[in-house]
Amino acid sequence: MGKFIRLKKGFTINLKGKAAPKVVEIDQPETFVIKPTDFHGMYMPKPVVNVGDTVKAGSPLFHDKKHENVLYTAPVSGEVVEVKRGEKRKLLEIKILTDKKIEFEPFRKYSVSEIANLGAAEIKAQILKSGIWPTLVQRPFGIVADPAATPKAIHISAFDTHPLAPDYNVLFKGQDQFFQIGVDILKKLTSGIIHVNTHSTTEISTVFSQVKGAEVNKFSGPHPAGCVGVQIHHLDPINKGDIVWTINPMGVIQIGKLFLNGVYDSSRILAVVGSEVKNPQYYKTYTGASVKKFLEGNLSQDHVRVISGNPLTGTAISKDGHMGFFDHQLTVLPEGDYYEFIGWITPGARKVSFHRALGLLSFLSPGKERVVDTNTHGEPRAFVQSGVFEQVTPMDVLPTHLLKSILAEDIDEMEALGIYEVIEEDLALCEFVDVSKHKVQEILREGLELVQHS
């Protein structure tokens, strides 16, 4: 029997441009990309393909020099057209020009009864080879899971509370069987429980509610209730020395397909959302898709920011850029590079604010969907206001003090204050509400890297 956890603290940012619940099929994008920069904790990615090579979906593209068995594979079949490198020849992305029809690298197929008798080693070998392994994220640090480790639990957040987040009922509709098989397989990789964490107020898809062999927990409350780190904190917190894995339902379903169908099927549903998108809706595509086709003729203006991911934790990309490995949301917001005459005091309810300070009236109509641009609305300052981060962090963690310990590079203090329990997304709201405009997520990652490499 799962737990029911009520969270009070937090803030749901209600933005305009949510996706209408329909899935559209258009011509697939021509290019797909895998970016090593999407994966934390990568030591040195080493490409195993050259420009001109042809690959199938599931053929290896690169691997980390420190973990050569974890392969990062092609999401689609086609020809490698670019191996992009940055400063110091750091590998940035590998681009594939896709075939009309996708060809799959064959992996071993298993029947349901065979799967029941599989051992952990065999399972790991198949997932590692297929390129699905990197969907397993290891806490602490939010890095690609270490195949040699045995996590004390695996957590799956079955809902997303980020601004403009896609509805998982649409994303994973009809994938019940694959999700179930995926859970069955993952169960053999942990000494503990698989947690499937659902939202109490929205209708729960049968994909999650009917799953067997996992603990289905319910959460209520505003964002960040959907962040898996917050959920772990309340179900089975991470202590020093613990290892916990998290995985998006997408990854679980891919694992299910890998074992049942013997292919790395990276097909996914992408939500194209945001106030500047004419028809916010869902599209069928594959991991790492070029966003060009989804935006062409679909934008209400030109001066926009295109974000792979959600507005709180996403990455800005260009209008012909490519989606990140983990992202199932493409957000387009107005760019905010304008001056605003005495903008620091003008009253109004147009701008979203968690605060209620003089003239900030958005708290009066929380149900209204708003347009928010990328302006910083102020300049960076020293820490002044206290108690705000705590109001948007539904965990027994003191974000202000944790951040200060990171700025002071005090590793013992970071450990004591619970840095193992959080990654960027868990504290992203702090960055949003911060009066002093700190780069909270950047600071946190610096701290995580300090601890990880100490």
Partner 1 sequence: MKFLRNQLDKVKHQFEKGGKLEKYFYAYEAMETFLFAPNTTNGQKGAQIRDAIDLKRLMMTVIVAMLPCLVFGIWNVGHQHFMAIGQAGATMGDKFLIGAIQVIPIVIVSYGVGLGIEFVFAILRKHPVNEGFLVTGMLIPLVMPPDIPLWQVAVATAFAVIIGKEAFGGTGMNVVNIALTARAFLYFAYPTDISGSVWTYLGDAQAVAGYSGATPLSIGAESVTTGESVVTALNSFGAGWNEGVFTLSNLFMGIRPGSIGETSTLMCLIGAAILIATGTGSWKIIFSVFGGAYAMGLLLNLIGGNAFMEMPAHYHLVIGGLAFGAVFMATDPVTASQTESGKWVYGILIGVFTVLIRVFNPAYPEGIMLAILLMNVFAPLIDYFVISANKKRRLQRATV
| Window 341 to 400, contacts with partner 1 (CB under 8 A) | 341-345, 351-360, 362, 372-387, 390, 396-398, 400
Among 315, 320, 410, 452, binds partner 1 (CB under 8 A): 315
Q: Minimum CB separation from partner 1 for residue 127, in Å?
A: 28
Q: Of the two residues 121 and 407, which places its CB atom closer to partner 1 in the complex?
A: 407
SS3 45: strand
Site for partner 1 in 320-339 (CB under 8 A): 331, 333, 335-339
Q: Minimum CB separation from partner 1 for residue 331, in Å?
A: 8
The answer to whether 48 and 195 are in contact (CB under 8 A) is: no
Q: Of the two residues 119 and 348, which places its CB atom closer to partner 1 in the complex?
A: 348
CB count in 10 Å sphere of residue 133? 22
Burial class (CB in 10 A: 0-12, 13-18, 19+), 239: exposed
Q: Minimum CB separation from partner 1 for residue 441, in Å?
A: 4
Site for partner 1 in 171-210 (CB under 8 A): none
Site for partner 1 in 422-451 (CB under 8 A): 424, 428, 431-437, 439-442
Rounded CA-CA distance 38/28 in Å is 22
Site for partner 1 in 110-169 (CB under 8 A): 163
Select from 330, 201, 206, 227 the least CA-distant residue to 277. Answer: 330
Among 144, 171, 312, 423, binds partner 1 (CB under 8 A): 312
The CA-based angle 169-368-363, given to 5 degrees, is 120
Rounded CA-CA distance 272/277 in Å is 8
Q: Minimum CB separation from partner 1 for residue 191, in Å?
A: 17
12 in contact with partner 1 (CB under 8 A): no
Among 66, 84, 109, 240, binds partner 1 (CB under 8 A): 240
Q: Minimum CB separation from partner 1 for residue 69, in Å?
A: 29
Q: Minimum CB separation from partner 1 for residue 302, in Å?
A: 16
307 in contact with partner 1 (CB under 8 A): yes
The answer to whether 450 and 411 are in contact (CB under 8 A) is: yes
Write the binding mask 277 to 306 for partner 1: x where contact by CB under 8 A, - elsewhere: ----------------------------x-
Q: How far is CA 115 from the centre of its chain?
A: 28
* Terminal-residue alpha carbon distance, the chain: 39
The answer to whether 51 and 110 are in contact (CB under 8 A) is: no
Phi, psi of 271 (to 5 degrees): -90, 125
